[in-house]
Structure formats: structure tokens, C-alpha cells
Structure 1
Amino acid sequence: MVETWQQIALGVLVLLVFTSFIKEWVSPEVVALGALVTCVLIGVLPIAVPSPAPGLEGEALTNALRRFNADALRVFAHPAPITVACMFVLSAALERTGVIEVLGHWFERTAGTSPTRMLVIMIVIVAGLSGFMNNTPVVVVFLPIVLGICRRKDWAASKYLIPLSYAAIVGGTITIIGTSTNLVASGIAASYDPNYAFGFFDVTPLGIVFVAVTFVYLLTIGKKLLPDRVTLAALIDSKDAREFITRAFVSQESPLIGQSFLESSLKKMKKARVIDVVRDGNRVRESLNEVVFEEGDEIIIKGRLGDLMGLSEKDGITQDTSDQLGLEDVRTESAVMMEGIIGPDSSLAGKSLKELNFRQRFGVIIVAVHRRGRNLQERFEDVKLAFGDTLLVQGPARRMQQLFELKDFVNLSEPKEVAIRAKKAPFAIAAILAFMVLGLLSGINLIPPIPIVQVALCAAVFVLLTGCIDPSEAYQSVEWKVLFLIIGMLGLGQALQYSGVADLLAIKVVETTHGMDPRILISLLYLLSAILTEMVSNNAVAALLTPLVIIVGIQLGVDPKPFIAAVMFGSSASFATPIGYQTNTFVYGAGGYKFGDFFRAGFPLAVILWIVASILIPVIWPL
């Protein structure tokens, strides 16, 4: 039996978890797992509980089963994180076999004829894909395509990237597998009572309405509210971007030997600048201002081609004045300027450019950084990088290629070219279609009910066995941070349920709303979920609120499914901030947006969808 002090401690723990999510003291998945461990340490959740002994009856059997079901280790076998992991693998299979790329290329060929046409086709494709796969890779694939079209047409990319994210978000509400939030809420409901579970297409009617409303909104009201922002690359004039890099050696007789860079005439060059010094094949690790030249040093100089060719007259770099500085010209190569964004699992996150020794490590220079609505062109070396930061990088094409091959950096300037397994595409498509068909047949009772997790596991194993994706790619495709966050929050939700805190809260809600129409309560629960998901993880909101609303429905004597649906859809309604949903964070930096841009464009949409959900949820899921 859980004691009163443990219930109080659990309440304090929930507040600390939400505060930590908002303040970002620690990574969310660490906070969630820490909360799960704390629930075990304070005795709220038992661990490694044996199954009830034979012969138990009545209340003794009920208590034993209740304790067994509250075992903290059971969250690791919960269907929600397992299904989410399988969906990551299936999404990666579609990406690796070129299915998404084919759609992306078709979009690039057909959508660039007019701004409205591009917006219409983009919303339809992205929303449709997001209903059946993880929406993050969809956004990652379409980001550089949209940016490329906007550059060529001289359109403002900021008019399209927020709609790209919003289409991915509402598209995820079309099916139960479209977003991990749906899977978490449905999984908790099924574990409470199989009758409360949601089938594959149970959410489709409201999901399609959400997509249709968002579609109309973005083409009418939203179109006028979208900002006209300058992307990071546009800060630099296109002519200035066409620069070249010259490499020169310090000869044996050079007067530069023994001079520091600050003392040398190289520091005074107007039309070109030294960006690096290589000694004995390695980049000098000291700050450029601290470098003292030695014989044989390779000096790397950047500037526009005409300026480099004119250095012989003014700066004494090339052949006419090589005797003066003792520099031997080596070679000149084109310097490419490209944009990249720090990915969610990047090893660069949490470290500054200075700590990373970025210039020496990657052989490129950072021209500017976009962070939270600000474009920084100077004094950003000490800024710690974070997910969503957009960097404008410049350097030789070959070094750029090496940089963007890393998982740390998502290329925004051009679609990432990878070797695809096109011959395996039919298998990947077959896996998704089989998933959909079995889900549909099971949902309308034409075949015996099949758990979604079972179908997901079969589909994931199928794409592995058929070679659509190899095991190492499957492991890399899984966003482990998301899984651990879900596991931790499921544990916290289980603790609320087992400890009786969820019952106490539900009773308090029922007493406070006594006499209120349940439809109004559904509307308020949707609103609460939508507000919380703008501040913390949508999965965390679903994991904590779902057990509570199930008990509220039972206390009111009505079907809990409409309350669960309110949490499910409300937790996915992140439109007003760039931090509430991962796709919003991706486009935040890429589009050169400010924080308030999301509120201006997304708040009216959030209110409209709240009204729509409040009206339709009780109709689709009668009380």
C-alpha cells in the first residue's frame, strides 16, 4: 500500500519533471528515466515482482495482480515504445529505398511553377506521408528541396517552411501510427482496458478534418500571417559567395619567418584574408592571431578570384612580389558556401565552435550562425551549439562533402545524395501497405483483432530480411532519446495510477466540474494538452494525462475514449512555438524565423483546431 508521504513525494516529482522540461536543465530523456528510477527508490513502483501465487482469491488476488501490473520493468515491454521503434525502422526503409526521394524529385519538377501550386502540392504530399511514417525524415528530405526552389525563383523560403512543418504535424493525426503521441495514448488505454484501445484508422475521420482545415487555413489566413524573413545564406551577397581559396608556402628566404600574423602584412590585406595555416601537414591549433610563421608553413588565403589575382600589385603575394614575402603560390580552388542545421542527435550539440576546434577539425569556416530568431555574423565562436541551430559554412567542395556526410549536420543547401536500393522499394512499399490493410481489416472486424505492435514488428523484420535496410542502418534510424523519454514517462504515469494519485486528481476534477457538460470538459482537456505540449514533450503530456482522463471518464460514468482522443489530438497540436515539436525546431533556424513568427502564424490555427476538435470529438466518439 502506498503511503501518504509517497503520494506527496510523487506530486513533487511530477512538478520537478515539468519544471525541468521547461527550463531545459537536463536532457528530457534523462529527466524521464530519472523520474522512473526515483519512483522505484521511494517505493511507489515495485520492481521484479513475481506473478501471483496459485490459490489466491478475492481481494488478495486483486492486490497481487495490481502490484504485478505496476512492476517498473513492465514499461520496457510496453507496446508503445516498441511500435515507435518499428516505425522508425519502416520510415528509414522507405527513405533508404528511395521512395521518399522519388516523391521529392517529382515535387521539385512539378511544384515550382507558382507559389500557390508549390504550397498545395507540398501540404498534400507531406501530410500524406506523415500519416504512415515518422514525419521528421519527411521534413529533412523536403527542406533542401523547398529552399532550392525558393532560391532559384527568388521566393521567400519563410513563406513555405512553417507550412511544411504544420503539414507534417497534422498529417501525423491521420492514423494511429502517424505520431508517437497516438501510440503512447492508445497503448496506455489498451493496457487499462482493451475496450479503450484505438484501431489503426479510428482517428482517421478527425485527422482528415484537421488536415483539410490546416490546408484551407495555410492557403488563406495563414498565407497572410507568414513572415517574409531572410534566410542565413541570403545575408551574404551571391557574388560574394563565389570566392576562391589560394594556398601558398613560406619559402626559405621569406621575411615572414619569425613574424606573428598580427605583425605581418598579411593581416593588412583588404581584398583577401588568411583563414588557416598548415604546418607539417597539420592545421596549427593556436588562434590565428597567435601564429608565428615558420619555413614551409602553408598559408590558406580566401577571396574572390579577381581580388586574389590582384594581390600581386597591392599585397605582394604572387609572383611579382614573391621575393618580398617569400611566398610560393601553390594552387587555387573554389570555395563553396552552404547551409547546414544541427541535427537532434548531433555530437556537436552542447559544444562551442572553439571547443570543437571546428575550423581545424573540418577544414571549413563558419560565416554566420542563426540561433532563436537572430542571425549572428560575429562573436559566435563561444556560443554552444544546440539542435536547430543553422550554420552558414564555407570551404572547399570536397571538405563540405565530408562534413555533410556526418550524421551531425543536415544539409539545407541541396538534397543529400546517398546510394539508394531502388530494387528493394517494392518490398518497403509492400510492408507499409500490408501494415495499412491489416490495420483496416482488423479495425472493421473482417479479421480477428491484431495488436498494432505485432503488425509493426512483422513489418520491421520483413524490411530487414528483404534487404531494404541493413541492421546497422536500422539501429541508427531509431531515435533512442524519444524511446527513453516515452519509457520514463510511461513509468511516471504508471506510478500515478498505482499510487492512487491519478484517482485523487480525477476525483478532484469531477468535483470541480460537477454539473458541467462532459463535452465542455473534453474541450478543456484538449486545450490543456495543447498548452502543455507547447512547453514540454508531446509524448510526456500524453503519458501523464491519459491515465488521468481514463479515470475521469469512469468517474463520470461515460466512455473514456473521447477524453483520450482529446489528449491524443491536443498533444499533437503544437503550432504556436518552435520548441513544442521537433519539425518546428528544424524549420525554425532554416527559415530565419523569430520566435514570435510561430505564434502569429500558429496561434489562430491552434484556436480553430481546438474549436473543431471540441465539436467533432463527441460526435465521432459518443459519450
Structure 2
Amino acid sequence: MTFEQGLAFTILVATILMFALDKLRYDLVALLSLSAGVLAGLVPPDKAFHGFSDPVVVVVAAALVVSAGIERSGIIERLMKPLSALKSPDALIGTLVALVMVLSAFMKNIGALAIFIPLSVRLARAGGIPVSQILMPLSFASLLGGVMTLIGTSPNIIVSRVRLELTGKAFTMFDFTPVGVGICLAGIGFLTFAWRVLPRDRQGSSGDKGFRIEDYLAEVRIEAHSPLIGATVADLEQLFSGGAVTVAAIIRDQGHRYVPGGHWEFSESDVLVLEGDPMALKPLLDQAGLVLMGGGGLGSEDTTVMEAVVMPNSPLVGSSAVRSAMRRRHGMALLAISRGGRHMIERLRQTEFMAGDVLVVEGNGEALPGTLAQLGCLPLGQKAMPASGKSAWLPVGIAFAAMLSVAVGVMPVAPAFFLAAVAMVLLGCLPLRGAYEAIHWPIIILLGALIPISDSMKSTGASDLLAGWLALAASQVPVPMALGLVLLASMLLAPFLHHAATVLLMGPVAAGMAVKLGLAVDPFLMAVALGAASDFLTPIGHQCNTLVMGVGGYRFGDYWRLGLPLSVIVLVSGTLLILTFWPI
């Protein structure tokens, strides 16, 4: 091992550790890794920013804009209206899973899932199905659907770049389709029935008249005239709220927070942190003489209360109601927060928002949906359907034209989707501001920063050295097992790295291992892409899993219930399908 290779491995290990520890955002970790590469002399200064001009970055950004144009058209929601006729839970979930997969193949999976979440919540309520048993299958379906085409998921786009550098020819739009369709069929068969392993009791009884999310927190103050003065915690929980609301904390004595027992008595000006069903808040406020902290009373004729999910690219992530000036700047009040079934006791207005949080907010009835969209939040109420007409199909036509031009070889994928993104804006499918907001800039930063690091691993020979070690180990096992081990390694790395970073690391190494074993490169690249896209074990490895955590009330361990058997299915069927369609 040379000195340069040692430096490359040191930076690689440090980067992996920082990703795994999750103390810093992944885009900042990527920038630190690039900085270390430049300072160590592994990345030439004049090539430090070449990654940001790489076609992979252009494709990912453009695909996000195209997906946003399709999502904004509302055409998908309109086409899904007949689903309300499905009465069987298996039929409903199986159909939704299949539709999410198909949509995810042609637009970014996070966008496809975002379209289906409000629809699925309404259908689950109408069909008496707990929301917790329908959303995780849809999240996993969006990940599986993305593996069917080149643009469906970032790992496919990045692994195509690796192949281009190795062989001079990139993967085409539908090279991934035979393996992807097989994986999706296996996934549909599993998810259609396996949803039963998920918890039923996270969202209240299935007979609720409205969409209910437990473990909300709201912050209220006891006024001078309140009948609660002198009453106990047990009185509020049983007599006033009928068990629908519990007292999570009392804040008194100049801001000190206490977790009260049932015998604690209330005093004037106590601030209570209440936990429970937000629909029980209004009658409790009126009956018990309580005032919501942050202002704004419920029930005003020109205001409405709405639930919304904080999306991963929301500017609210890492901020709070106070720091974001939610009421002063955006004209809405934060009433409650739900966070994946977690018990939160901190002050509501100081709580930092996280991706996947479900917020209950109050604001002007007409302006609130637009304000939430501007803040990167997904409303869970009814969405307005677009007026019928040809314009609703225009974004679909633009996306189809881009895919067709790539499929028939008219132009490469990067310029095709760049032109499609520009057309979305010029033809009014998406405002310019909406196009910028659709791009998830942290992933763009991550890709642009890590591409030079990946290239430095190859230029120093570190990738070849690591590939040699793996080839030596793989030579002791049958070829199908070696392929399966590459798929498994990518699958295990993805939750701790980012799926894009996993491909940038594993792609060149797996290709080098195949060359040293005298095997075809393509099957191993396919295995890397499939493994990196198949993160079913944690809520943090992929944005789709994070997005449904709060709405479904999931806890970290819930993902293993459905994700572990699905991972085994993908590992076994994926290995066999790759060997079938990509001879080794």
C-alpha cells in the first residue's frame, strides 16, 4: 500500500464513520471529505469542483424538477378516484403498492410517495384500515419501483456513470427494467399480504370519524377564570377530556418543567404540555378555560386547522416555530406536533422540526395550503383536483418525450431531462420558484463533493487494492454467492452512508473485483445499484422511510418487521434475476 492509498483509505474510513454517527448533515460530511481530499493532495485543486458539472448531478436535479411538474398537475390524484371502490384491504393495499411502483419508475420516488400519502390516508380512513398498516408498504413500494428505470432512483443514475467510465458506454433507460420488474412483482406479492405484521394501534381505532394521529403535543396556559385551578391532573385527564388528553408536563416556577403525578394541583398561569388527539383540544379549551400558547383561537370563521408532514427538503427542518417566525412571517400558528410515536416533553415552540414530523397548524383557510407548500410541508387533508383539460396532461407528455428521446438514442439522458425541466417552467407546468424548491440541494452537494473523492480512490489505486482483497475472498465461494455478497454489502452500507455515496464507493470496487475474477462487470454494477436502492431496515437511510414515520406513528424497530423479510426477498430474487438477465 502506497502513502497516497493510505491517505485515501483514511479519508474514506473517516467519511463512513461521520455518515454512520449522523452528527453532521450528510452534505456537510461530503464537503468535509472533499476538503480533506484537496488538502491531502489526492484531489487536484483545478478538479475539486468538477463533480458539480458531472452529468449525474444534472440528471438528478432535472429529474426532481420534472417530477415536481407531474406532481403539481394533480393528474395522478384525479386518475386514482376509482380506488375508493376497493373494499378489501388486500386489494386496496396491493393496488396502491403496484401504482406507487409504476409511478416511481418514471419520477423520483419521494415525489411519487408524496402524491400517494394524502390519498392513502383518505382511503385508509374510508376502509377502516389503520394508517400504520398502509404507509410503510407504500414507502417500500416507492423504493422498489425506482429500480425499474435509469431515472427512477439515484443509484441507477450513478452506476450508469461508473459503467460509462469503465466501458465507454452507459446503461440505457430500460436496461434496469427486466431485473426491476421481477423484483417489483415479488415485492407486490409480499407487501399485499405482509402489511398485517405492522402495528394496528398507533393511530387509534379504525372507526374514528376523522384522521387521527396520537402522541400530539400542544402547549396551553391556565387562565384566571379556569375551573382547573385547584383541580388535579387526574381531574383534567378523566373529567374534562374523557381520557382523550393526558398531561405530559407542567411548566411553572419561572420556566421549570415537571412531569406531574395524578395528584398534582393546577395553579393560575401554569403552562401545560398536553398529549393526545388534536380533535379533543377545542372542546377542552372551551370547557376548561385554557388558552393555546402562540396565539390564535380555534374555530374562527376565516381560519382552518390542517395537518401536514414536514418533507425532507423543507426549510423548517432544524428550525422551530420561534426561529422560523411561523406566526409573524407565515400567518399560521403551530398547535401540535407528532413525531413517530415518540414521547416529547420539550416546549412546543422551541422544538426543532425534523423531516417526517406531522404538524397541526392553524391559519387562513384559503392561504394555508399554499403556505404549507411554500414551507415544504405536505398537507394531509383533501387536495383540490385540477380542472379537466389538456393542460393537466402536459407535464406527463413532457416527461414521456424526454424518456422516449433517451430510449431511442436521440440524445443522452442529461440533456434530455434538462430540456424537459426547462420546458416544465416555460410552458407553465411549474413556476420558476417551484423548480428551485423542487431540487433537493443537499443531495446535489453530496454528489458534487463525493464524485472527486470517488475518482481519487481510482486514481490512487485504492479502489483496485480494495477490489483485489475482495476478489481474493470471493474466489473462495461460488460466483452466485460472490454476486449476492456484493448486493448484500451495498444493502447494509446504504442505511449508514447515503444511497448515492454507497454507489460512488461500491461501484468502482465491485467492478474492479469482477475484472480480477475474470467475470463480467455489468452484473456486479447491477447488484450495487439494487442493493443501494433497497434500504428497508431503518427510517433514516432513505427520505421515503423518513417521510412516513410521523404520519404512520412508526418507531425505529417497526421497520424491521416488514423490512427484514423484504430485504431477504430482494437479496435472493435480485441475485437470481441479475444472473438470468446479465450473464456473468
TM-score, normalised on structure 2?
Answer: 0.81
Per-residue deviation, 1:399 = 7.7
Instruction: Quote the residue 2:536 is aligned against.
Output: 575
**Gapped regions of structure 2 (runs ≥ 5):** 214-220, 230-235, 242-253, 256-266, 271-279, 292-296
Instruction: Quote the residue 2:64 is aligned against.
Output: 88
Instruction: Quote the residue 1:28 is aligned against.
Output: 26
* Aligned AA (2:79): L
Residue 263 to residue 338, structure 1, CA distance change in 2 (3 Å): closer
Q: Distance in 1 between matches of 2:426 and 2:282?
A: 52
Q: Distance in 1 between matches of 2:152 and 2:529?
A: 11
Q: Does 1:157 align with 2:117?
A: no
Q: Distance in 1 between matches of 2:346 and 2:111?
A: 32
Q: Distance in 1 between matches of 2:365 and 2:431?
A: 29
**2:502 is matched with which residue: 530, 541, 546?**
541
Instruction: Quote the residue 2:450 is aligned against.
Output: 489
Per-residue deviation, 1:165 = 0.7
Per-residue deviation, 1:406 = 3.3
Q: Does 1:177 align with 2:145?
A: no
Instruction: Quote the residue 1:254 is aligned against.
Output: none
* Aligned AA (1:126): V
Q: Does 1:611 align with 2:534?
A: no
Q: Distance in 2 between matches of 1:272 and 1:410?
A: 33
* Aligned AA (2:559): F
Per-residue deviation, 1:567 = 0.1
Residue 418 to residue 32, structure 1, CA distance change in 2 (3 Å): farther
Per-residue deviation, 1:427 = 3.3
Q: Distance in 1 between matches of 2:318 and 2:365?
A: 27
Q: Does 1:229 align with 2:189?
A: no
For 1:220-619, list aligned pairs within 5 A.
220=193, 222-231=194-203, 264-266=224-226, 268=228, 308=286, 333=301, 337-353=305-321, 355-356=323-324, 366=334, 368-376=336-344, 380=348, 382-393=350-361, 397=365, 400-401=368-369, 404-415=372-383, 417=384, 423-442=390-409, 450-619=411-580
Instruction: Quote the residue 1:64 is aligned against.
Output: none
Residue 520 to residue 376, structure 1, CA distance change in 2 (3 Å): same
Structure 1, 370-379 or 79-88: larger mean CA deviation: 370-379
* Aligned AA (1:27): R
Conserved? CA contact 1:47–1:72, under 8 Å: yes
**2:173 is matched with which residue: 168, 186, 200?**
200
Per-residue deviation, 1:23 = 1.6
Per-residue deviation, 1:373 = 3.6
Per-residue deviation, 1:601 = 0.8
Instruction: Quote the residue 1:248 is aligned against.
Output: none
**Gapped regions of structure 1 (runs ≥ 5):** 49-70, 242-260, 274-285, 293-301, 318-328, 443-448
Q: Distance in 1 between matches of 2:146 and 2:407?
A: 17
Give the 3-state SS of the residue equivalent to 1:374 in structure 2: coil
Q: Distance in 2 between matches of 1:128 and 1:618?
A: 24
Q: Distance in 1 between matches of 2:196 and 2:204?
A: 22
Q: Distance in 1 between matches of 2:405 and 2:281?
A: 61
Conserved? CA contact 2:49–2:448, under 8 Å: no
Give the 3-state SS of the residue equivalent to 1:595 in structure 2: coil
**2:94 is matched with which residue: 120, 130, 147?**
120
* Aligned AA (1:202): D
Per-residue deviation, 1:592 = 0.8
Percent identical pairs in the alignment equals 28
For 1:61-100, list aligned pairs within 5 A.
71-100=47-76
Aligned residues: 532
Give the 3-state SS of the residue equivalent to 1:80 in structure 2: helix
Per-residue deviation, 1:183 = 0.1
Cα offsets for 1:520-548 (capped at 9, x unmatched): 21110000000111222111101111111
Give the 3-state SS of the residue equivalent to 1:349 in structure 2: coil
* Aligned AA (1:92): A
Give the 3-state SS of the residue equivalent to 2:408 in structure 1: helix
Per-residue deviation, 1:35 = 1.1
Q: Distance in 2 between matches of 1:378 and 1:25?
A: 21
Q: Distance in 2 between matches of 1:546 and 1:5?
A: 23
Give the 3-state SS of the residue equivalent to 1:391 in structure 2: strand
Conserved? CA contact 1:21–1:535, under 8 Å: yes
Per-residue deviation, 1:474 = 1.6
For 1:99-110, list aligned pairs within 5 A.
99-107=75-83, 109-110=84-85
Structure 1, 354-363 or 577-586: larger mean CA deviation: 354-363
Cα offsets for 1:458-483 (capped at 9, x unmatched): 33333333332233222221111111
Conserved? CA contact 1:342–1:388, under 8 Å: yes
* Aligned AA (1:184): I
Per-residue deviation, 1:604 = 0.4
Conserved? CA contact 1:232–1:339, under 8 Å: no
* Aligned AA (2:352): K
**1:15 is matched with which residue: 13, 16, 20?**
13
Q: Distance in 1 between matches of 2:527 and 2:474?
A: 17
Residue 408 to residue 47, structure 1, CA distance change in 2 (3 Å): same
Conserved? CA contact 1:97–1:420, under 8 Å: no
Conserved? CA contact 2:303–2:365, under 8 Å: yes
